[in-house]
Structures are given as structure tokens and as C-alpha cells.
């Protein structure tokens, strides 16, 4: 589950990580109130107005703007709220902005120039350990840094048995070239950040930029946080942070119906039982010259109701030109699935794309007969290859 910047910062703050403080607003009027409140709390007269959408690169797209007085807060918030923000990480249509974070300006002038760093905590899948990845090149695309100046990216791996050790936090601060107060602040920052990542069961905490202010404070200016869905049951308070408006609407609906669905770009819808078979089916579709339009695992009980729900989900995608149903009857009997397909089809009236059903396993022959005798525009297959050939046929 991905979070908004303001939610990520709330979590960081609860673990003692210093953040750029802010208040979320859904209207220009609320933004003005937020700015006034922040001025009372922090003494700042300048504010940054930041679009809250699940996409990075907001600054480049005009979704992060500095306001030097209350009038500008109102104007800028009015422009950003309701806009379709296009960034390098969104589609061409962009993402609708429903709310902004009104934050204190932390790039204030002082003894030193403010400096931006990059820092993230994530799982290194090849070693199976968490790591802190960081760089002096903050504020910009880390992918670009990785490509052009990979020697400026450092990593610190954490032994799960002992956790992050003091010398490791100090090494991070050292490699970032810090000394004195900033060095101490950075070791505190890194320690608290790792604790936040670990105890919130997250899969990613990306802070870009981490800022060294002109008076040598170290603070999180941005926060990209992903919490592991499988651990959400342990964090009821985080569960409430889910913003369904930011997620794929078909995927949200599928989740509510208990179906495992991932939207993809292709033209062949698939309905399969079991994740492994679903992956194999997607390969099959590719081999036949098509592209899967989705991953869909209907699970063990493919009754008429589930099949119908799955049909409806698949058909919401206008690029679907054919549907391949591939079910292995192990626990569930093929004839029951076939009956489910037939009932669902009849319930839905007409379906305007060809359907190929491959049922293999217990009672596969009875199932094939049911489908063939149903009089519906559904083609049946028993072998994997046969199904692939039929997909190829209907696509050409």
C-alpha cells in the first residue's frame, strides 16, 4: 500500500524523525488557515504548497510551489487543487489532485547553504537483507544518478539479527561529508528512519531530499512510503490511510470481491485458478501472439457468482479482444466450473468478445460436453496448446 507524502511524514514523525512540518488542505480556504497555523507554530512566513498524489516528480510537473505570503498560498492552492498533475511518473492524462500539503519553507537562508541528500530504506532481494541506500546527489532522480554517477550511491546493509548498529549510522553521516552538529543530527536521523521502516513493516521508505538546513538541522522534506500489504493487519491505524482514489479502480473492486487481479496493458483477458497457472497462462497468451490484459486468480472456488464477478471485471477493460478461461480442476470439479461459466454467461446476456475455456482435471470431459452443448458462443479446449491455438485464431 502506497501512502501520500503527508501520511509518510506522520509515520516518520511518530518515530522521532525530523520532518518538514505541514498541514493538509482540500480547499484554498483550508490552505490559508493551515498556513496561518503553521506560521504560529513554526514562525515561518513562507510556505510550500505540495500536491498530494501517489506519484513522484511533482516538482517538475508544477505540483510543488513556494508561496511568500498568504495571498500566494490561496492562489497557488487554488491552482493545484483540482488540477490533473502530469509528472514523469504519471500517465499523459496525469493524476487529479484532491489535496495539498501546506508546509513550512525549510530552505531559509543562514550560515551555510542548504544541502539536499538522497536516502531510502528497502529490502535488498539478492541478499535478503534490508539496506539503506544514500547519496550526496539528492533532490533529483536517483535513477539518473545511478546511471551517470553510480559511484555517488552508497549502501549500508543491516544484519537482521542485530539491527542497525551505531557505527553504520556514523558511516552514513561520514560518507555524506558531514561534520559537527550536522554529523550528529544525521546519525540520529538515520537511526530513527530505520526504526520507522522496520517497525511499520514497510517495503520502502524513500526520502528525497533529506535536507541539511542552513543551520545544520537534518530533516525529511519528502517521503515516499510503501507498507507491506501482508503486514497491514498488524497496523489498523495505517490501514485507514489507504486512499482508494489513487489506486486502479478495477483492482480496488477486485480486492473487495476477494479476487486477485492486476491490470495489464494487453488485449486478452484471463481468468485462471492459481497464481502459478495464471503466470503460465500469460506466457501462453504471449506465445500465441497476444498480450495479457490482466492477471486474475479466481482462487479455489470458481462458482457461478465468482466467475460472473470475474467476467465483469475483465470486460471493464475496453482493450480486451478475447477472454481465455484456464481452470485446473483439482479441488474444484471441472463440470461445476463449466456450469458456473454457462450460468454467468446467461446472467450477463451477451458478451461481445470470443471466449475460450480450457478445463483440465477432474470431470474435464463432462465439462467440455456441457460447454459444447450449451449453445453459447464459447469455445472449449482441454489441452494447453489447443487453447493457445484458439486464442491465436480469434485474434487474427
Residues designated catalytic: 118, 206
Task: Answer whether 145's CB lies under 8 Å from 135's CB.
Answer: yes
* Binding residue (CB under 6 A) for ligand GDP from 3, 12, 17, 64: 64
* Residue 221 touches which of Mn ion, ligand GDP, none (Cβ within 5-8 Å per kind): ligand GDP
Query: How many Å apart are CA 17 and CA 9, to the nearest integer?
Result: 9
48/359 with CB nearer ligand GDP: 48
Cis omega before residue 209 (within 30°)? Answer: yes
* Residue 66 touches which of Mn ion, ligand GDP, none (Cβ within 5-8 Å per kind): ligand GDP
> How near is the Cβ of 177 to ligand GDP at its closest, in Å?
19
50/235 with CB nearer ligand GDP: 50
* Interaction residues for ligand GDP, span 134-173 (CB under 6 A): 139
Query: How many Å apart are CA 152 and CA 141, to the nearest integer?
Result: 13
- Among candidate residues 46, 41, 54, 42, the one with its CA nearest the CA of residue 8: 54
121/293 with CB nearer Mn ion: 121
> How near is the Cβ of 106 to ligand GDP at its closest, in Å?
4
3-class SS at 187? helix
139/354 with CB nearer ligand GDP: 139
* Residue 106 touches which of ligand GDP, Mn ion, none (Cβ within 5-8 Å per kind): ligand GDP
Task: Please indicate if the annotation marks 106 as binding a ligand.
Answer: yes
- Among candidate residues 111, 112, 6, 107, the one with its CA nearest the CA of residue 53: 6
Task: Please indicate if the annotation marks 130 as binding a ligand.
Answer: no
Q: How far is C-alpha 151 from the chain's CA centre?
A: 28
Task: Answer whether 180's CB lies under 8 Å from 216's CB.
Answer: yes
For residue 179, the tally of other CB atoms under 10 A from its CB is: 10
Sign of CA dihedral 334, 335, 337, 342: positive
> How near is the Cβ of 284 to ligand GDP at its closest, in Å?
39
**Long-range residue pairs from 72-76, CB within 8 A, at least 24 positions apart, any chain:** 73/28, 73/31, 73/32, 73/35, 73/47, 73/49, 73/102, 74/28, 74/29, 74/31, 74/32, 75/28, 76/49
Grid look-up 479476487 returns 259
* Interaction residues for ligand GDP, span 78-137 (CB under 6 A): 105-107
Contact letters (x/-) for ligand GDP, 16-45, by CB under 6 A?
Answer: ----x-------------------------
* Residue 348 touches which of ligand GDP, Mn ion, none (Cβ within 5-8 Å per kind): none
Grid look-up 553521516 returns 173
222/308 with CB nearer ligand GDP: 222
Give the orientation angle of helix 384-395 with respect to helix 275-287, to 10 degrees: 50
Task: Please indicate if the annotation marks 357 as binding a ligand.
Answer: no
Select from 29-37, 48-56, 147-155, 181-189 the region that touches ligand GDP (CB under 6 A): 48-56
Select from 34-42, 50-58, 264-272, 290-298 the region that touches ligand GDP (CB under 6 A): 50-58
Select from 22-30, 53-61, 165-173, 247-255 the region that touches ligand GDP (CB under 6 A): 53-61
| Residue ranges binding Mn ion (CB under 5 A) | 208, 222
DSSP 8-state code for residue 152: G
Contact letters (x/-) for ligand GDP, 208-237, by CB under 6 A?
Answer: xx-----------xx---------------
Q: Return the bridge partners of 154, or none.
A: 134
CA distances from 249 to 150, 241, 252 (A): 38, 17, 5
> How near is the Cβ of 193 to ligand GDP at its closest, in Å?
16
Task: Please indicate if the annotation marks 57 as binding a ligand.
Answer: yes
> How near is the Cβ of 82 to ligand GDP at its closest, in Å?
18
> How near is the Cβ of 218 to ligand GDP at its closest, in Å?
14
Q: Which residues of 222-248 are buried (b: 16+ CB within 10 A; e: fewer)?
A: bbbbbbeeeeeeebeebeebbbeebee
> How near is the Cβ of 60 to Mn ion at its closest, in Å?
10
What residues make contact with ligand GDP under the rule CB under 6 A?
Answer: 20, 48, 50, 56-59, 64, 66, 105-107, 139, 208-209, 221-222
Please give the annotated binding residues for substrate, written as ranges. Answer: 273, 330-332
Please give the annotated binding residues for Mg(2+), written as ranges. Answer: 208, 222
Amino acid at each position: 500500500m502506497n501512502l501520500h507524502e503527508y501520511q509518510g511524514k506522520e509515520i516518520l514523525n511518530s518515530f522521532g524523525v525530523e520532518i518538514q512540518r505541514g498541514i493538509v488542505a482540500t480547499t484554498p480556504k483550508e490552505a490559508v488557515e493551515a498556513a496561518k497555523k503553521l506560521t504560529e507554530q513554526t514562525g515561518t512566513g513562507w510556505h510550500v504548497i505540495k500536491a498530494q498524489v501517489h506519484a513522484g516528480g511533482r516538482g517538475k510537473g508544477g505540483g510543488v510551489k513556494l508561496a511568500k505570503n498568504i495571498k500566494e498560498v490561496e492562489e497557488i492552492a487554488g491552482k493545484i487543487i483540482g488540477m490533473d498533475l502530469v509528472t514523469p511518473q504519471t500517465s499523459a492524462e496525469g493524476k487529479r489532485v484532491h489535496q495539498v500539503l501546506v508546509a513550512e519553507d525549510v530552505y531559509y537562508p543562514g550560515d551555510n547553504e542548504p544541502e539536499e541528500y538522497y536516502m531510502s530504506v528497502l529490502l535488498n532481494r539478492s541478499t535478503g537483507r534490508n539496506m539503506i541506500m544514500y547519496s550526496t546527489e539528492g533532490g533529483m532522480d536517483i535513477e539518473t544518478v545511478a546511471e551517470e554517477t553510480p559511484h555517488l550511491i552508497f549502501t549500508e546493509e543491516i544484519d537482521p539479527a542485530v539491527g542497525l548498529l551505531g557505527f553504520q549510522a556514523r558511516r552514513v553521516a561520514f560518507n555524506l561529508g558531514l561534520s559537527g552538529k550536522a554529523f550528529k543530527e544525521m546519525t540520529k536521523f538515520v537511526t530513527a528512519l530505520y526504526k520507522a521502516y522496520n517497525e511499520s513493516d514497510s517495503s520502502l521508505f524513500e526520502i528525497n531530499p533529506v535536507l541539511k538546513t542552513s543551520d545544520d538541522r537534518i530533516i525529511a522534506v519528502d517521503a515516499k512510503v510503501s507498507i507491506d500489504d501482508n503486514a497491514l493487519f498488524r497496523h489498523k491505524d495505517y490501514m485507514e490511510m489507504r486512499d482508494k482514489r489513487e489506486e486502479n479502480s478495477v483492482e480496488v473492486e477486485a480486492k473487495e470481491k476477494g479476487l486477485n487481479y492486476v491490470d495489464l496493458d494487453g488485449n486478452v483477458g484471463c481468468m485462471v485458478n492459481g497464481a502459478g497457472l495464471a503466470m503460465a497462462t500469460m506466457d501462453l497468451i504471449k506465445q500465441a501472439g497476444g498480450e495479457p490484459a490482466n492477471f486474475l486468480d479466481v482462487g479455489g472456488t470458481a462458482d457461478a457468482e465468482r466467475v460472473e464477478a470475474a467476467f465483469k471485471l475483465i470486460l471493464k477493460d475496453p482493450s480486451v479482444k478475447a477472454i481465455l478461461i484456464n481452470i485446473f480442476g483439482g479441488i474444484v470439479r471441472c463440470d461445476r466450473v463449466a456450469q458456473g461459466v454457462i450460468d454467468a454467461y446467461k446472467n450477463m446476456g451477451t458478451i461481445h468478445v470470443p471466449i475460450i475455456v480450457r478445463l483440465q482435471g477432474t470431470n474435464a470431459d463432462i465439462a467440455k460436453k456441457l460447454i459444447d452443448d450449451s449453445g453459447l458462443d464459447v469455445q472449449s479446449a482441454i489441452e494447453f496448446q489447443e487453447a493457445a491455438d484458439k486464442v491465436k485464431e480469434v485474434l487474427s
